[in-house]
Structure 1
């Protein structure tokens, strides 16, 4: 665990907001009898009204610690990410699917750059819908669109909830990893659910909360967890909320395609016996660490995605898996290197920053292998060519 002293200190106002959220979480623990599941803690830490990380006013997305942000995403790195997605989406737009819906729109950078790129492709959607519950993020998205694509901003609509029916293309970049997870720990050969309780006053440590494990009967242990080989000590997660989200998308998508980009693994890798520490991770001021109780509401809390669980839930809801590939393979298949070569390599000031950003998206040591792209379709031709999965499709691993 990284020491608090090695991380940038929040402002006094931010600390006050974190303290208020800690009180809210503490009240929830008291109301539940002294213990809540980690999924409940994570939901409050990220989404409690006006206080949670995503519902409050933290900067979140940005390039480095100087802008007050905590992490950077692919759309913030380079417009070539959106331009490559547009090359994949444009043929779908031409199949009488003139709408796009985005989840996890962040600053609005992907929305703005996608609209610009689709316009260039001659495939501009009639409407671009963003599902966003955070008022602070919605305002940032509006500002980004007004600055980067003012002539297209009137095509964007914000939704507070999913529509009953949608026809078009759905995209979600780094949205699944931010959905609350349950934690499970095996020690002494027995499975426990790892939850959150108050830290005992006077005990070591700076935080108000601590992990507390509760033994589970075998019948209450999720099948994916129970199937982990061996009897050695492990910690892992399950993703009921993300899988429920996949089912909701499946119920909503009457015709079209859905693309989700995130970091994670198929189940065989996710629940591999050597992954003994789980995948829970926190991000604060561009530092990664494993302490979810540090500054509640001021840091991101994530877990890698079990793409097999997402795929099975979507298929149960009537969708078909159209492809599953590493981000690097998907982007290269869809033409990112060809797009980059439209820049003049002799113009180092323009070419090198974009080339370096694209390399970060593609490199196995960066985002290229850890990040995956999964796509689902409904009521589309089964032979529909999706260029992003033309080579290196790993759907068989799901």
Structure 2
């Protein structure tokens, strides 16, 4: 922690409130599964990282997402999804999971409006009351009432049948993950306990049936068992989560963008400490037990598991590619030309830097991947050129 910026007294007081909440639960109920600890750290009402009011995105926050770099990302994604909206007609809806600062929604809605391909509604499923307020204020200031009134905020995924597009950028990595390890061939699950000094520390305990089955499924798929001592992450609840968010989408597309790998690369033998990453003021580290409520906690995504969960929910994988390949195939260069036309030297430089961050292998270009899941959608509704870049064979 001494390599990280020092939190303010106010931040430390906020974190202490969450520490006491988690500590009391552990003392009352026993060792806490890491997935529960991560859920408390991120989403505890009023105290969790995403539930409290601290700035999270951009230069003043802890990390930068693609929509925060500028409008090119959202515009290009919107372009790729317009064939689906046109195919499904004016009754189609757009659902964004986790709207962040509202930057994506603003740029995407402008692109839809300019192309006269507006969804009937633009719904944002946002569990954070603070972020919801920020999104609403931003979009209210950005659009006339006729467009702003198309926005809706959801507390839970749509329950009634609908048609359209579901979009999730950097959402799956923030799902509370289960941490497992192997000991003498047996599966153990990582828990959090309170030490004699009153501090949080890890403790491995025999895994329950659901976690054990999930790990054994991975081993069978990989064709070999994990070595003793191997530690990583798994999302046993992913199929249930996918059914919850996609079950009512009767026709359309779901587009997921996140950092991660196909399974055979996710669980490489040398990646034996997993992929857990924490972010605090643009510093990345792996200690999830410090600064509860002040830092983001994420894990890379097993895209093979995402495809399996999509299949179980009734969707087919319509495309899988790196973010760079997908954005380029979807017309990123055209969007750059349109935005840079008439821009001054500073503006052109900013746009060029945005392109680099989005596409270079050392930046987001290869680290992030795009998965398209489709149900009851004609081929004409898919993003143009997706078949040419599809790397679904890697899953």
Fold-level similarity (TM above 0.5): yes
Q: Which runs of no fewer than 5 residues in structure 2 stay unpaired?
A: none
Do the aligned partners of residues 322 and 351 (structure 1) sit closer, same or farther apart at CA in structure 2, a change above 3 Å counting? same
- Per-residue CA deviations over 1:360-379 (Å, capped at 9, x if unaligned) read 11011111111011111111
State whether residues 83 and 381 of structure 2, in contact with CA within 8 Å, keep that contact through their aligned partners in structure 1: no
State whether residues 75 and 111 of structure 2, in contact with CA within 8 Å, keep that contact through their aligned partners in structure 1: yes
How far does residue 252 in structure 1 lie from its aligned partner after superposition?
A: 1.4
From 6, 28, 46, give the equivalent of 1:9. Answer: 6
How far does residue 175 in structure 1 lie from its aligned partner after superposition?
A: 0.7
From 306, 321, 336, give the equivalent of 1:340. Answer: 336
- Per-residue CA deviations over 1:233-284 (Å, capped at 9, x if unaligned) read 3210011334322122331111111111111111111122121110000000
Q: Which TM-score applies when normalising by structure 2? A: 0.92
Number of the residue aligned with 1:205: none
The answer to which of 385-394 and 326-335 deviates more is 385-394
Do the aligned partners of residues 30 and 10 (structure 1) sit closer, same or farther apart at CA in structure 2, a change above 3 Å counting? same
| Aligned mates of 1:133, 1:219 — CA distance in 2 | 26
| Aligned mates of 1:249, 1:6 — CA distance in 2 | 39
The answer to which of 388-397 and 43-52 deviates more is 388-397
List aligned pairs for 1:237-256, cutoff 5 A: 237-256=233-252
Do the aligned partners of residues 241 and 70 (structure 1) sit closer, same or farther apart at CA in structure 2, a change above 3 Å counting? farther
From 68, 76, 79, give the equivalent of 1:76. Answer: 68
From 139, 142, 150, give the equivalent of 1:148. Answer: 142
How far does residue 384 in structure 1 lie from its aligned partner after superposition?
A: 4.2
- Per-residue CA deviations over 1:283-304 (Å, capped at 9, x if unaligned) read 0011000010111001000000
State whether residues 180 and 241 of structure 1, in contact with CA within 8 Å, keep that contact through their aligned partners in structure 2: no
The answer to which of 343-352 and 15-24 deviates more is 343-352
Kindly report the root-mean-square deviation, in angstroms, between the aligned alpha carbons of the 2 structures.
2.0
List aligned pairs for 1:167-206, cutoff 5 A: 167-187=163-183, 190-201=186-197
Number of the residue aligned with 1:293: 289
- Per-residue CA deviations over 1:113-135 (Å, capped at 9, x if unaligned) read 10001111221222100111211
Do residues 359 (structure 1) and 350 (structure 2) align?
no
Number of the residue aligned with 1:99: 93
Do the aligned partners of residues 158 and 279 (structure 1) sit closer, same or farther apart at CA in structure 2, a change above 3 Å counting? same
The answer to which of 248-257 and 351-360 deviates more is 248-257
State whether residues 168 and 257 of structure 1, in contact with CA within 8 Å, keep that contact through their aligned partners in structure 2: yes
Do the aligned partners of residues 218 and 247 (structure 1) sit closer, same or farther apart at CA in structure 2, a change above 3 Å counting? closer
Number of the residue aligned with 1:308: 304
